[in-house]
Structure 1
Amino acid sequence: MTGHEAGEGARRRCEEGAQDEAPFWTKPLDQLTRAQWESLCDGCGRCCLVKLEDEDTGIIHHTSVACKLLDQSTCRCGDYANRKKIVPDCVRLTLARLEKIRWLPPTCAYLLRLEGKDLPEWHPLVSGDPESVHRARASVRGRVEASEDEVDVDELPEYIRPWPKRWPRRARS
């Protein structure tokens, strides 16, 4: 089928009133089901990096040190269901909290949608491929230097890195 034929088919469906429903991730966040909300996570693991806040300036610094529950190969939580029991300061992301959190990476789908922006082409919901986030270098895969269990708190400033707060070149839409 040519592009023209595909376009004609879409035009006919619209004329007949059979419009395709927009993808759920384009809806306002407050209209998503719990399952849809959870699936917005692209699996980058950036939010699972240890962050330090400068007490004087309030500036948040991201490190390359991961939460002890982060599975560094999948960039997903190794025990998501029990994470709050194991890591009490783990933040369960809700719409109310999302509006107040200042440390999410700029690539975060929740933040992008809150700001009314589209998901990037490498987001697994858009690409249909869970590996696309890693190929775009938007994830922490291969970039974590240590787990929080391996680093003393006093050593954390040595692991401050700028990349978690940036859009990787390959990940820009």
Structure 2
Amino acid sequence: MALKKGKNAPDHAVGGRNRPNPNHVTVERAEKPGSSFPRRALPVEAAPTETPFWEKPLSDLTRAEWEQLCDGCGRCCLVKLEDEDTGAIYHTSVACKLLDQQSCRCGDYPRRRRYVPDCVRLTLEKLADIPWLPPTCAYVLRFRGKPLPPWHPLISGDPESVSRAGVSARGRIEAGEDDVETDDLPDFIRLWPKRWPKKARW
């Protein structure tokens, strides 16, 4: 099996849940002078609740909204190897040189492609053709018409919920890209980056 270093992590360029407002609100009818009738509440149709952007079709998202879909798990920023004979993709526990291993976010996102030219630009059009994104990826889930899981920061309101759910690569990265020779990368092949964690309950 001949392995070559695969494309690096994608950049995400395009593209707690608030409780919905009640269907009706009430206002009180003004009491006429001298009237003995008590004031009573009358139903008034409320303005329709706006759909959270993460529930909209991916094609309707602005670039800022698209960027916010990333849960910051860091799994897509792990080095991958491709079998030159079969095209199979293997994940490693080696992090991209720009990945902050604590926050699992890019350490220089605005200039990432200057330092990592093969960083994949993730777009809606490419989602169907990228086989190595983790199954927990928000882009993958929404592309398939599924809701965001409860541990996603947009739902939980807490970025740490990704780590608590066992989805984050934090604590599981064994080396940085600059610390491992290319010929040694197969020694770091792991299965967990492509699996749904047991702790990540739906």
The alpha carbon displacement at 1:71 in A equals 0.1
Residue 15 and residue 28 in structure 1: after superposition, are their counterparts in 2 closer, same or farther (change >3 A)?
A: farther
Counterpart amino acid of residue 52 in structure 1: L
Q: What corresponds to 1:72 in structure 2?
A: 101
TM-score (norm 2): 0.78
C-alpha distance in 1 between matches for 2:112 and 2:76: 14
Q: 1:141 aligns with which of 170, 174, 187?
A: 170
For 1:1-173, list aligned pairs within 5 A: 10-12=22-24, 16-173=45-202
Higher helix share: 1
The CA deviation string for residues 106-149 of structure 1, in whole angstroms up to 9 with x for no partner, is 00000100000111100000101111101111010000000010
C-alpha distance in 1 between matches for 2:94 and 2:164: 21
C-alpha distance in 1 between matches for 2:85 and 2:122: 26
Conserved in 1, the CA contact under 8 Å of 2:95 and 2:175? yes
The CA deviation string for residues 147-170 of structure 1, in whole angstroms up to 9 with x for no partner, is 010001111111010000011111
Equivalenced residue count is 167
Runs of 5+ in structure 2 lacking a partner? 1-18, 26-42
Counterpart amino acid of residue 126 in structure 1: I
Counterpart amino acid of residue 145 in structure 2: G
C-alpha distance in 2 between matches for 1:118 and 1:170: 18
SS in structure 1 at match of 2:79:
strand
C-alpha distance in 1 between matches for 2:64 and 2:101: 24
The CA deviation string for residues 20-58 of structure 1, in whole angstroms up to 9 with x for no partner, is 212100100010000000000000000100001112222
Q: What corresponds to 1:3 in structure 2?
A: none
Counterpart amino acid of residue 114 in structure 2: K
The alpha carbon displacement at 1:11 in A equals 4.2
C-alpha distance in 2 between matches for 1:71 and 1:25: 25
Conserved in 1, the CA contact under 8 Å of 2:22 and 2:46? no
Higher strand share: 2
C-alpha distance in 2 between matches for 1:128 and 1:10: 22
Structure 1: which 4+ aligned runs deviate by more than 6 Å? none
Percent identity of equivalent pairs: 68
The alpha carbon displacement at 1:17 in A equals 4.2
Q: Which moved more, 1:97-106 or 1:61-70?
A: 97-106
